[in-house]
Chain A
């Protein structure tokens, strides 16, 4: 089946530094990828929609200058958390849709646990 690979799985960084998270579609091309954030024992909150070759679309309340998204190719989207603070500590998960239709299966990566100290 479709595989979405996310790297790293865990990262610890110091406050004020930046962290880059990669999301790759391994066996399919994804013109659109989605970035979600999940707090412990909570639901998945959509952060932004990443579009290949164009600017990402951010959800209300998500700081686009803090969470930089780049979708440079049909198989890679990156999320960079800039000037990270402890409140940015969370589980970040990317996802990609196999196929164009909106109701095609959406597959998720295994997430990145970010801890900011």
Chain B
């Protein structure tokens, strides 16, 4: 119930392409869904976050799509660049549990 399932485990995208990472959850009490970007040897950095009262949120080249009925959300990276190569984690939390529950991560490689 507390798990957040993330796919794919790894992703290779050509420069300029669209990177799509998907996450699914079971706990319907989750109501905060952030995405984090992590470079090797660094801590995760908050990229973008969404609440279930909206179906989409866009910040620059990054978009979160949220499907409440399917209990799924995804990250879309438009015009992917080599600098986007990193590990991406989805996460979820709710008011009852203040800590974030993370997905297993997706390693993105953008080829130039």
Contact = CB atoms under 8 A, between A and B. Distances in A.
Interface of A: 4, 6, 32, 34, 41-44, 46, 49, 93, 95, 97, 102-103, 105-111, 113
A95 B91 CA distance: 14
- Top 6 closest pairs, chain A to chain B, by CB: A108-B43, A103-B32, A43-B104, A110-B43, A102-B98, A44-B102
- Where chain B touches its partner, the secondary structure class is loop
Given A4-B43, A43-B104, A103-B31, 20 more contacts: A34-B100, A41-B107, A42-B105, A44-B44, A46-B100, A46-B101, A49-B99, A102-B32, A102-B98, A103-B49, A105-B34, A105-B46, A105-B49, A107-B46, A108-B45, A109-B43, A110-B41, A110-B43, A111-B43, A113-B41
A102 B89 CA distance: 18
Nearest to B33: A103
A58 to B, nearest CB: 12
A86 B107 CA distance: 27
Contact of A43 (B34, B42, B43, B102): B102
Contacts of B89: 43-44
A105 B36 CA distance: 11
A110 B93 CA distance: 22
A46 B99 CA distance: 8
A42 B95 CA distance: 26
A102 B93 contact: yes
11 contacts: A4-B43, A42-B104, A43-B89, A43-B103, A44-B102, A49-B98, A49-B99, A102-B93, A103-B32, A103-B93, A105-B34
Nearest to A93: B43
Nearest to B107: A41
B94 interface: yes
Contacts of B101: 46
